[in-house]
Amino acid sequence: MKPIRALVALFAVACFAGGPTVAVADHLSSDDVTYKPDITFTLRTDISDGKLVFTGEKGSIAGQDNPDLVVPEDAVVQINLVNGDGATHDIAVPEFNVESDDINKKGSATAIVFRASKSGEFEYLCTLPGHKAAGMFGKLIVGEPSEKAASDALEVAKNPTEVGEPVGDRGPESLTIDLETTEVEGRLDDGSTYKYWTFNDTVPGPMIRARVGDDITVNLSNHEDSSHIHSVDFHAVTGPGGGAAVTQVAPGQTKSFSFNAKHPGLYVYHCATPMVAQHITNGMYGMILIEPEGGLSEVDREFYVMQGELYTNEPHGASGLQEFSLDKLLAENPEHMMFNGSMNALTGTHSMEANVGETVRIYFGVGGPNLISSFHVIGEVFDKVYDNASFTSPALTDVQTTTVAPGGATVVEFQVDYPGEYILVDHALSRMEKGLAGVLTVKGDKDDSIFKVLD
Ligand SMILES: [Cu+2]
């Protein structure tokens, strides 16, 4: 049998008069393949609706933008790429360690060849900077699609509209908070899951709402199916460990404490059982709002959003059950970053909506455990920022981006004046590629005095 490189090059030359170069996955050896690939796809680079795309060139994918490429497990797959727009591009399937040469002239071509050695859903993309973000990516589906497994998994993503009841002008009261810690396989993304650790089965845990002066009893139960001890540290608590010193609770047990809410503000709570960073990254964080006397001012819409990080062995975009990576946690290098627990919690699973003219308040915190957020809403300016979630300091006004520390929070308010989709981000925008985005959809009439497209 001849070496794969020569054979594939011959095959590719037969396809393209221009003589494309071919990249072959390094794990393929001469014993891996016969004369030609089992399956060949041809894609052309193109611009469609202002986006960069891969367009199917022939066969069942002809004319489709970023088509799903479906192949049997263990097939040798060739993907030919033809340059259709004259810009520099390439094509890669990171999961199978294969990446083509760059092609930069209209009509030039290249190809990649690899063995689809494991089933699942993987990504193909153009690796030139910004091209994936501009639209150049699609799915390679090997064997049975894994979406079924993921669709059976628990939806842990927290609904951002679940913000509790405003306290209004009531006086101080006695309240009871029941929290249950759980360890559940939850949906991370379409086709992937993660063993989350949670408060009350969502990430973040419930937003708790109280008033300054309230006497609050916390009952923390650890589900009997848990494998680990858990606890809770409320940053609003004055006392040992914020409560964590007295709530280290074994599976099937309950522990309680009470505290007086001395300080108004928006406070993070989290599990504080060693290794604390691991318990937090796995999903064990939430927030408690202690409203000042008389409550906060009325607004039309309130949302609860928390930023988190997940550290997995497999890279971002991999399918199946994702395993925790201690090395990546200690290196503070997450594969996934998200608002409200899962990859598309605020861009698909749940929606955030408002109408033109309404006032919006976002309770925003960072579970982390490690990375500072530069919180920003694309296309909006915060009218007010309660910096560090302090209600007893004057609010900042007219702010573009506000930093929020891990274990910290902010409260931002703004009126929405113009219809459209406003994207919530951490302005450290590489993190958007790891999943960190949310959408606030504003409906209503356009106002030319605010924004106008000029021909
Ligand atoms: Cu825990």
Q: 142 C-alpha to center of ligand 1: Å? A: 36
Q: 380 C-alpha to center of ligand 1: Å? A: 36
Q: 241 C-alpha to center of ligand 1: Å? A: 14
Check residue 20 and give its pLDDT.
45
Percent of the chain with pLDDT over 90: 81
pLDDT at 78 over 80: yes
Check residue 119 and give its pLDDT.
87
Q: 405 C-alpha to center of ligand 1: Å? A: 21
Q: 181 C-alpha to center of ligand 1: Å? A: 7
Residues 339 and 295 reside in one and the same domain? yes
Q: What is the mean pLDDT of residues 59-82?
A: 88
Distance of alpha carbon 306 from alpha carbon 160, whole angstroms:
9
Residues 31 and 15 reside in one and the same domain? yes
Give the total number of structural domains in the chain: 2
At 1, the pLDDT band (50, 70, 90 cuts) reads very low
> What does the radius of gyration of the chain's CA atoms come to, in whole angstroms?
26
Lowest mean pLDDT: which of 263-272, 312-321, 423-432? 312-321
Q: Which of 143, 160, 188 is the last residue of a domain?
A: 143
Q: What is the mean pLDDT of residues 159-183?
A: 97
Per-residue pLDDT tens for 337-394? 999 999 999 999 999 999 999 999 999 999 999 999 999 999 999 999 999 999 999 9
DSSP code at position 271 = -
Q: 283 C-alpha to center of ligand 1: Å? A: 9
Residues 374 and 350 reside in one and the same domain? yes
Q: 182 C-alpha to center of ligand 1: Å? A: 9
Residues 275 and 415 reside in one and the same domain? yes
Q: 373 C-alpha to center of ligand 1: Å? A: 23
Q: 317 C-alpha to center of ligand 1: Å? A: 26
Q: 346 C-alpha to center of ligand 1: Å? A: 25
Residues 46 and 164 reside in one and the same domain? no
Check residue 49 and give its pLDDT.
79
Exposure string over 148-176, b if 16+ CB within 10 A, otherwise e? ebbeebebbbbbbeebbebbeeeeeeebe
Distance of alpha carbon 356 from alpha carbon 418, whole angstroms:
6
Per-residue pLDDT tens for 275-296? 999 999 999 999 999 999 999 9
Q: What is the mean pLDDT of residues 112-134?
A: 92
Token pair for 420:
């459209």
- Closest by Cα among 307, 319, 305 to 435: 307
Residues 51 and 15 reside in one and the same domain? yes
Check residue 2 and give its pLDDT.
34
Q: What is the mean pLDDT of residues 434-440?
A: 96
Per-residue pLDDT tens for 320-336? 999 999 999 999 999 99
Q: 231 C-alpha to center of ligand 1: Å? A: 6
Residues 123 and 242 reside in one and the same domain? no
Residues 222 and 361 reside in one and the same domain? yes
Residues 35 and 180 reside in one and the same domain? no
Residues 206 and 112 reside in one and the same domain? no
Q: 450 C-alpha to center of ligand 1: Å? A: 48
Phi and psi torsions of 191, nearest 5° = 95, 0
Check residue 151 and give its pLDDT.
59
In terms of pLDDT, which residue wins out, 112 or 59?
112
Q: Which of 100, 121, 143 is the last residue of a domain?
A: 143
Q: 201 C-alpha to center of ligand 1: Å? A: 13
Residues 184 and 281 reside in one and the same domain? yes
Range of the domain at 107: 4-143
Q: Which of 95, 117, 143 is the last residue of a domain?
A: 143
Q: 6 C-alpha to center of ligand 1: Å? A: 55
Per-residue pLDDT tens for 2-33? 334 333 433 333 334 344 455 555 555 444 44
Q: 413 C-alpha to center of ligand 1: Å? A: 32
CATH code for position 128: 2.60.40.420
Residues 365 and 313 reside in one and the same domain? yes
